């Protein structure tokens, strides 16, 4: 996944085209800072003036080129929702969208209601009679998307990926990562969290001394859950989260939690086996339930229930949630406007309904075919690259080529839209709308247990500015929302487009062969198809990237975690190589001009096209959080790390050994 920017393609509405007009070559000349030597810092050369002219708006913790595109997409969604709210008689789809958006935008009514919408749920938690009754209440909360103790959902079976299996996993934390509960360096953050929980309890009527007492109890429970959880880096190894157990074996891990009652109240399909991702977590959960008083367990459930709905309640709840999770943890200064928050809520909760309208307005019909053509080009280059690898044996190469051949592509939007006909949505009760839409989606997914996997389904909504690779399905997925400038320019030469979209396509394909993806076969099953020697050669080359990126520091006192970001860094490095191969092919056949445009050779335009999709300003608070939780490196290092490792860049810009953009020991896996 390329999360902070991704693929870009050939669609544009007239309005978007006008907003993103580019120079002839497609290079954004206004972004370049020519006072910087490209061989010293290519990121600042390509993006320096853009960075100076685009300070972070107060509502955001970061602002980059993909943020600009997301904002433009939001404007389109905003207009769709405004029209639906004003003309609710046009179609059932418009009625659903209009009612949801109207309820969200009625801030006066939401503020007047205060915490009334969640009071019935709070009473149910208070009424828990004993620990045996915890299971039924946790089931009710999980049905609403409340993160309490653990998660129970579904996924393809790691060993038989065509079938959907039940999955239980660790969960239940309120801080961004288990590491925040450990060590002295996060004492200030833990204190802020305690204050935040205390303030939330005060908002539901708990006196300050009691609220602080309950916050301390919650911190103790979450600390124990964090200690029982495995790290984000460990979770990158799918073998560590694949433990198929019988239902009886799962129940035996946590005998003090009534899983039979839980599953009955979740209305989950019957099953004999499930994937218990982290068995030791469930063993520890039993001890936590045993040792913790019922009142403290109730406080914990209350906190997660209130926190889940806090952004949907009155202004005091919204402000308190923003103050900790956005202002303190990421550095954002102000709330986003109400219409943006309501547009995002509609996309989250009614994604396919809103997506249908978005696609009809903004997605050009020929874009799927044109996208597929570009994917085909990059796939051919990847096949040639695999075949030429000097470090991989022939038997492993054949398996890799089989896997590449098995990759399927989903572009734009799903073949079959979800129906929200059964979902009750009112224009006057926003919290109820959120609850109903969440419950619909959660139950829809639970019903998949035991069924064949629908590999045509998208796991992102059509307007999303993102893309992803699914290792269990061996497919690459490009929602319509990302398929437009700045990543692809219909009026620019293909040198820039290969640097943008080409590198992104290569990036997504490479995820099938990164430290995680390489452990799955052509059908998406977790299976070792590597020879021992080839496995060792891969790890040696991957360690080079780990060590290189671990030296990058985006903010004082914080370094990139090379292990956590290995998959994304490796995909960045391989993706640009594949795209460069495509560029050379275009130059050879004459489809790309070899002349200079705007003063740059096609090779220089290619690297500028890549670098300029990553122009971004970040707040230090957000960077400190992201290096611990985000598998992507900060954007500047997604450029600098790649340029150091690709000798074609040094040739294009005349860089010499010893300059920062030329690594003495360049890393390369693929």
Could you tell me if 596 and 528 are in contact, meaning their C-beta atoms sit under 8 angstroms apart? no
What SS3 string covers 49-63?
A: HHHHHCCCCCCCCEE
Q: What is the total residue count of the chain?
A: 670
Between CA 426 and CA 51 the distance in angstroms is 44
Q: Which two tokens stand for residue 404?
A: 């590449």
For residue 592, count other CB atoms closer than 10 A to its CB: 22
Residue position matching structure tokens 């021992």:
532
Give the β-pairing of 475-479 and 244-246.
Answer: unpaired
- Tokens found for residue 308: 């889940």
DSSP bridge partners of 169: 151
Cα 379 to Cα 272: distance, rounded to the nearest angstrom = 40
What is the side-by-side order of every strand in the sheet holding 408-412? 408-412, 475-479, 468-470
Nearest to 541 by CA among 625, 382, 666: 666
Residue pair 528/652 in contact by the 8 Å Cβ criterion: no
**Type and span of the H or E element at 140:** helix 134-142
Residue 422 exposed, middle or buried by CB count within 10 Å (0-12, 13-18, 19+): exposed
CB-based contact 372:408 (threshold 8 Å): no
Question: Cα separation of 257 and 650, whole Å?
Answer: 60
H and E: helices and strands count for the chain: 28, 9
Burial (CB count within 10 angstroms: exposed 0-12, middle 13-18, buried 19+), residue 209: exposed
* Calpha distance 567→511 (Å, rounded): 7
SS3 state of residue 370 = helix
Annotated catalytic residues are 508, 572
Any idea what DSSP says for residue 325?
Answer: I
């Amino acid at each position: 996944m390329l999360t902070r920017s991704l693929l870009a393609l050939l669609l544009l509405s007239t309005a978007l085209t006008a907003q993103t007009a580019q120079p002839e070559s497609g290079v954004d000349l206004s972004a370049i800072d020519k006072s910087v030597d490209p061989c010293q810092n290519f990121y600042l050369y390509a993006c320096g003036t853009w960075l100076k002219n685009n300070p972070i708006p107060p509502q955001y913790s970061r602002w980059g080129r993909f943020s600009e595109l997301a904002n433009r997409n939001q404007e389109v969604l905003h207009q769709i929702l405004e029209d639906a709210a004003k003309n609710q008689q046009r179609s059932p789809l418009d009625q659903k969208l209009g009612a949801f958006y109207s309820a969200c935008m009625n801030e006066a009514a939401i503020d007047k209601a205060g915490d009334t919408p969640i009071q019935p749920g709070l009473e149910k938690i208070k009424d828990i009679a004993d620990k045996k009754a915890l299971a039924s209440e946790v089931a009710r909360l999980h049905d609403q998307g409340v993160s309490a103790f653990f998660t129970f959902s579904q996924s393809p079976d790691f060993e038989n990926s065509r079938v959907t299996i039940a999955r239980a996993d660790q969960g239940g934390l309120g801080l961004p990562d288990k590491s925040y509960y450990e060590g002295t360096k996060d004492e200030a953050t833990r204190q802020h969290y305690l204050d935040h929980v205390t303030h939330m309890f005060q908002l539901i009527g708990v006196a300050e001394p009691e609220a602080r007492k309950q916050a301390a109890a919650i911190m103790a429970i979450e600390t124990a859950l964090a200690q029982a959880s495995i790290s984000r880096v460990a979770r990158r190894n799918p073998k560590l989260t694949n433990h198929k157990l019988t239902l009886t074996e799962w129940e035996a891990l946590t005998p003090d939690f009534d899983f039979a009652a839980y599953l009955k109240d979740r209305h989950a399909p019957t099953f004999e086996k499930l994937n218990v991702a982290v068995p030791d977590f469930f063993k520890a959960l039993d001890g936590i339930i045993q040792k913790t008083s019922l009142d403290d367990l109730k406080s914990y459930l209350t906190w997660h229930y209130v926190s889940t709905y806090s952004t949907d309640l009155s202004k005091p709840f919204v402000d308190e949630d923003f103050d900790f999770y956005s202002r303190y943890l990421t550095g954002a200064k102000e709330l986003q406007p109400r219409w943006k928050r309501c547009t995002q809520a509609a996309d989250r909760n009614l994604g396919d309904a809103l997506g249908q309208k978005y696609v009809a307005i903004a997605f050009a019909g020929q874009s799927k075919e044109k996208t597929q053509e570009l994917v085909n080009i990059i796939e051919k280059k990847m096949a040639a690259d695999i075949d030429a690898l000097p470090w991989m044996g022939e038997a492993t190469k054949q398996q890799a080529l089989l896997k590449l051949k098995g990759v399927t592509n989903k572009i734009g939007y799903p073949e079959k839209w979800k129906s929200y006909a059964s979902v009750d949505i009112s224009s006057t009760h926003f919290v109820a709308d959120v609850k109903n839409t969440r419950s619909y989606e959660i139950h829809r997914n639970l019903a998949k247990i035991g069924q064949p996997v629908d590999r045509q389904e998208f796991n992102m909504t059509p307007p999303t500015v993102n893309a992803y690779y699914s290792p269990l399905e061996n497919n690459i997925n490009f929602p319509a929302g990302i398929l437009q400038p700045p990543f692809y320019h219909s009026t620019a030469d293909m040198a820039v487009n290969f640097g943008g979209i080409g590198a992104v396509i290569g990036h997504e394909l490479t995820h099938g062969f990164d430290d995680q993806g390489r452990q799955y076969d052509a059908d998406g099953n977790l299976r070792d198809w590597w020879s021992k020697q080839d496995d060792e050669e891969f790890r040696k080359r991957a360690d080079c990237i780990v060590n290189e990126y671990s030296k990058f520091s985006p903010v004082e006192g914080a370094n990139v975690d090379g292990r956590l970001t290995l998959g994304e860094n490796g995909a960045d490095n391989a993706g640009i190589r594949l795209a460069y191969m495509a560029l050379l092919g275009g130059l050879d056949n004459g489809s790309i001009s070899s002349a200079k445009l705007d003063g740059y050779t096609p090779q220089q335009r290619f690297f500028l096209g890549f670098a300029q999709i990553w122009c971004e300003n970040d707040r230090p608070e957000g960077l400190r959080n992201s290096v611990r939780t985000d598998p992507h490196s900060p954007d500047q290092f997604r450029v600098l790390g790649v340029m150091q490792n690709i000798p074609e860049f040094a040739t294009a810009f005349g860089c010499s050994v010893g300059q920062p953009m030329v690594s003495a020991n360049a890393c390369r896996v693929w």
